[in-house]
Amino acid sequence: MKTPAAHAAAANRAGQVRLPRPNGRVRVLGVDPAAAGPTGYGVVETDGREFHMLRFGTLAAARRGNRAGFAARLREIHELVCGLIAEYAPDAVAVESAFTALNMRTALLLAEVRGVVQLAAAQGNVPVSSYSPREVKACVAGYGHASKQQMQIMVRAMLGMKQTPEPADAADALAIALCHIHTSRARARLEAIAPRPSSKPGNRLE
């Protein structure tokens, strides 16, 4: 029986192409990577007006152990992301970037976690975007230093959820997906109104 990772790799080798969704819907997988704590994930879909949560959760925190244990942790995260991509076929994967205040050892471990997330996305032919914690908070809560609780409340409101998403790591992953959707829209609007360079000879710089 094929694992989720094997299914994703097979789809990639077959040149699978994601067709546009009905009514222009966009689906994004958000990932909140963690070196020691739970890794959060969340899938959000939007039609341009409303946002819907399709799934969210966490991969339990790794037990403290040796390097071999961390390698197994990386495999679990890779298989999780591959499985989510195979099941939900997102149009994009959004991942939180490393926090600059982390110590060197933690930052390096987190970079490895981000690496396996990006690898899984690449194997599924899904583009990846990264956002800093401050960018995500400013986009979703309107304040770059919003608390975990404030983020959970805003995510619940934006997605019309009946209950506050728990744990906070899963709510963060949903926030990352929302941040990508809003940022992509803003970028597209700017590109649409930006003046195009003139090809007239008189406007060329020599």
Q: What local confidence, expressed as pLDDT, does residue 204 receive?
A: 45
Contact 136, 172 (CB under 8 A): yes
Q: Yes or no: is domain 20-192 CATH 3.30.420.10? A: yes
Selection from 66-75, 116-125, 184-193 with the highest mean pLDDT? 116-125
Q: Is 135 a catalytic residue?
A: no
Instruction: Out of 50, 169, 191, 206, pick the active-site residue.
Output: 169
Q: Is 206 a catalytic residue?
A: no
Other residues' Cβ atoms within 10 Å of the Cβ of residue 43: 22
Instruction: Out of 45, 79, 96, 172, pick the active-site residue.
Output: 96
pTM beyond cutoff 0.85: no
Taking only the tens place, the pLDDT of each residue in 127-144 is 999 999 999 999 999 999
Beta pairing, strands 39-46 & 26-32 = antiparallel
Residue extents of the structural domains in the chain: 20-192
pLDDT of 6 over the 70 cut? no
Q: Is 79 a catalytic residue?
A: no
